[in-house]
Structure 1
Amino acid sequence: MDHTAALVSLATSVPPHLFHQGEILKAARAVMADRYSQFETLASLFANTGIRHRYGVKPMEWYLERRGWPERTQAFLEGAESLFLDVARKAIASADLAPADIDTVVTVCSTGIATPTLEARVASKLGFRTDISRVPIFGLGCAGGVSGLSIASRLAQARPGTNVLLVALELCTLAVRHDELTKANVVAASLFGDGAAAVVLRAGDGGATRIEATGEKLWPDTLDVMGWSVDPEGFGVIFQRTIPDFVRDNLGPAVAEILARMELPIDDIDRFVCHPGGTKVIVALERALALDQGALDQEREVIADYGNMSAPTVLFVLERLRAHGLPKRSLLTSLGPGFTASCVALRHAA
């Protein structure tokens, strides 16, 4: 019997408010241009991201006012609970299960703080059992979708026959700042959106797509590459280095190292499934992985339709690739605070 974890279902969800990229630029200009002399120089970022539109948990008017921790936290709790319920129900139903059939729930989120955590807050509304195992994970950022899938798969493998629900949910837009007149803040305003993805995993029985292996690479002395600063107003984005350059120079050797530990030749990977941090990051990924320019087509489409939603974004890409038909072997990759590369190898039986 194959005790590797099978991907039973995958679902995605976004909040109700749709923002076109030009609309977001107009709003950012209204908030920042008069106070930040470099804004117009940086405004081209909005056109160069490849993003058509994004989704937010609040209407545009909400973001135009300065907000502190209490308002951000209230918006996070309301929006995240609603999105969690929607995406979890979709994934559970797609797996032909009921919420009471879920044995373990893994929640990945780095854009808000909730104690009790999100899965506890929605447990009674969803119908989880009282003996469900809860695994909330904070701080993985953009690596969270792949790292979360890795953790959830190992939990499923440890208890064959049980159902593990992974929910990766981020409300990046709630971190918009009026006070930080910096290039990093303009970059964040041009890129980030809100969304959620959910996966049901189970080991010990049949499944067309299985988690074959997982691996990570943590680079030393890279705490400043990406993360949050925390102050009385809320989270503030940290981008201290040029991430596309870091990806181009470092990801290829890291993936080769991870695949060697997995005992998988790189030539056996039919499709890399990448977290699309933005257009420049996608180009850097193609170069780092020696792919043809344009090979990461679904990554470009996801970033165009949703922006960078942090952790769940790569699972949106996987959802589209599943709809088109997965090849025999694919490798999910994402990069996040640490600075860390996370990989999951999928084996698919047609």
Structure 2
Amino acid sequence: MATLCRPAVSVPEHIITVAQTLDLARTLHADHPQLALALRLIENTGVRKRHLVQPIEETLRHPGLRARNLRYESEAKARVPEVVRRALDHAELRPADIGLIVYVSCTGFMMPSLTAWMINTMGFRSDTRQMPIAQLGCAAGGAAINRAHDFCTAYPGANALVVSCEFCSLCYQPTDIGIGSLLSNGLFGDAVAAVALRGTGGTGMSLERNGSHLVPDTEDWIAYSVRETGFHFLLDKRVPGTMEPLAPALKELAAQHGWDAGQLDFYVVHAGGPRILDDLCRFLDVPPEAFRFSRATLTEYGNIASAVVLDAFGRFFDEGSAVDSARGLIAGFGPGITAEISLGSWVTDTAPAPVRTFLSPVTAGLPAVAVLDEECPAV
């Protein structure tokens, strides 16, 4: 079973507080007939601050889709490598040890994917498999973990890397003034995150089962309208109530594994907003503190899309409360309406790792190749 190791997360240097967000809304939309409602909704998100890749003055300008996408590419290339290196260090892996890179982002577009650039510039092998995921939105963090888990299961001993790069502020549309859009303007933030999955060894969450669930006939609840000016985010007012149909899916997957979803030791879920977390507490019958890691991400960074579950999982690591065999759940929620769910138990690897193993795709089905660690004097 693959082990999900300690993530690495980075947020940009430009900060906007909730007070500044509210002041901007009052200034930019002074004549909006539902301004009072929008302000109340923004305040109720619980977001205290967000991080942006540009100063707010530049964020509010719209230079066009081409300019924004060029900014996305340049920011991704500038910020992703450092986060990836930290994630690999946490897992005691090198780029050459990775058999699959899953890259997730819904806030910009590149073809070839950033994975090709990473392989060419960061020391990954040329036979490293690439899996870009662009259209699962906030659910993509959970989906990336699950697809990496599937890969490590298919190729025992293989290692995988998940990278999330979300610059939500580059999707700001000044002409979108619906309540959903105004709420989104005060909710989403920017972040880059990465996490490695070790096929053998490692400290973290040993992944045991994963699953996906789509709520029927909800495709238009969370969506992009792609226009000349870029991605226009569409958010239906029914979205906050999605835990009612999704909570049973979490319960069912846990039951298939012989677990009770309401009796687990830790929870890492996508924090789309406070209502999501409050409802999930109620439907799973768990105390509010069960989602303290997700709430902290929402409070300090806002909704950072697919990076939420990685940041929340990192906070769980940082708390240091995990004990061996503790049972947990990771869930990402997003467009579809889709849930991507992982179950696993905590493991602590106390042994040194003088030998690194990986399974190259060209040797699929054969025993893992042992690679001596030149930095280890014991070898």
Q: Give unmatched runs, 5+ long, in structure 1.
A: none
Q: Does 1:273 align with 2:268?
A: yes
1:69-123 deviations in Å (ceiling 9; x for gaps): 1122112111222222121111012222222332221101111111111122233
Deviates more, 1:196-205 or 1:329-338: 196-205
In structure 2, C-alpha distance between the alignment counterparts of 1:73 and 1:56, rounded to whole Å: 15
1:340 aligns with 2:348: no
What is the Cα deviation at residue 42 of structure 1?
Answer: 1.3
Deviation, 1:183, is 0.6
* SS of structure 1 residue aligned to 2:216: coil
**SS class of match (2:303):** coil
Give RMSD over aligned pairs. 1.9
CA distance in 2, matches of 1:46, 1:25: 8
* Segment of structure 1 superposing worse, 256-265 or 13-22: 256-265
Q: Alignment partner of 1:139: what SS?
A: coil
Deviation at residue 268 of structure 1 after TM alignment: 5.0
Q: Counterpart in 1 of 2:14? A: 17
Moved more, 119-128 or 89-98: 119-128
Residue number among 27, 33, 39 corresponding to 1:37 in the alignment: 33
Alpha-carbon contact 1:9-1:201 (below 8 Å) kept? no
Q: Distance in 2 between matches of 1:21 and 1:137?
A: 31
Q: Which residue number in structure 2 is paired with residue 255 of structure 1?
A: 250
User: 2:360 matched to which residue of 1?
Assistant: none
Cα deviation 1:321-345 (Å, max 9, x = unaligned): 1222325100111211111111101
Distance (Å, rounded) in 2 between the aligned partners of 1:282 and 1:209: 22
Displacement of 1:206 in angstroms is: 5.6
**Residue 290 of structure 1: which of 281, 285, 294 is its match?**
285
**Structure 1 residues 230 and 30, CA, compared in 2 at 3 Å: closer, same or farther?**
same
Q: Partners of 2:115 and 2:73 in 1: how far apart? A: 11
Shift of 1:144: 1.0
Given that 1:31 and 1:178 are in contact with CA atoms closer than 8 Å, whether structure 2 keeps it comes out as no
Task: For 1:267 and 1:288, locate their aligned partners in 2 and report how far apart those are by CA, in whole Å.
Answer: 9
Shift of the alpha carbon at 1:169?
1.8
Task: Report the Cα offset of residue 207 of structure 1.
Answer: 4.6
Q: Per the alignment, in what secondary structure is the counterpart of residue 69 of structure 2?
A: helix
Shift of 1:267: 5.3
Number of equivalent positions: 345
What TM-score, normalized by structure 2, do the two folds share? 0.86
Paired AA for residue 304 in structure 2: M
Q: Is the 8 A contact 1:108 1:138 kept in 2?
A: yes
Equivalent position of 1:46 in the other structure:
42
1:229 offset after TM fit, Å? 1.2
CA distance in 1, matches of 2:289, 2:41: 20
Aligned to 2:134: 138
Structure 1 letter corresponding to 2:71: A
Q: Deviations over 1:205-242 (max 9, x none)?
A: 46553101101111111102212111111111111232
2:164 is matched with which residue: 160, 165, 168? 168
Counterparts of 2:129 and 2:347 in 1: how far apart (Å)?
Answer: 30
How far does the alpha carbon of each residue in 1:17-65 deviate from its partner, in whole angstroms, 9 at most, with x for none?
Answer: 122121222233333334x332243112222111111111111111221
- Identical columns (%): 33
Larger Rg, first or second structure (1 or 2): 2
Shift of residue 262 of structure 1? 3.4
Q: Which moved more, 1:17-26 or 1:84-93?
A: 17-26
Q: 3-state DSSP class of the match of 1:237?
A: strand
* Cα displacement (A) at 1:153: 1.1
**SS state of the match for residue 217, structure 2?**
coil
Partner of 1:103: 99
In structure 2, what is the Cα distance between the partners aligned to 1:209 and 1:255? 18
Aligned-partner residue type, residue 209 of structure 2: A
Question: Equivalents in 1 of 2:271, 2:204: separation in Å?
Answer: 25
Indicate the SS of the match to 1:315: helix
Alignment of structure 1 residues 146-225 onto 2, 5 Å: 146-205=142-201, 207-225=203-221
Partner of 1:237: 233
The equivalent residue for 1:127 is 123
Structure 1 counterpart of 2:55, from 50, 59, 71: 59
Asked if residue 308 in structure 1 is aligned to residue 306 in structure 2, the reply is: no
Question: Secondary structure of 1:339's partner?
Answer: strand
Deviation at 1:204, TM superposition (A): 3.7
- Shift in alpha-carbon separation, 1:208–1:183, aligned structure 2, 3 A: closer
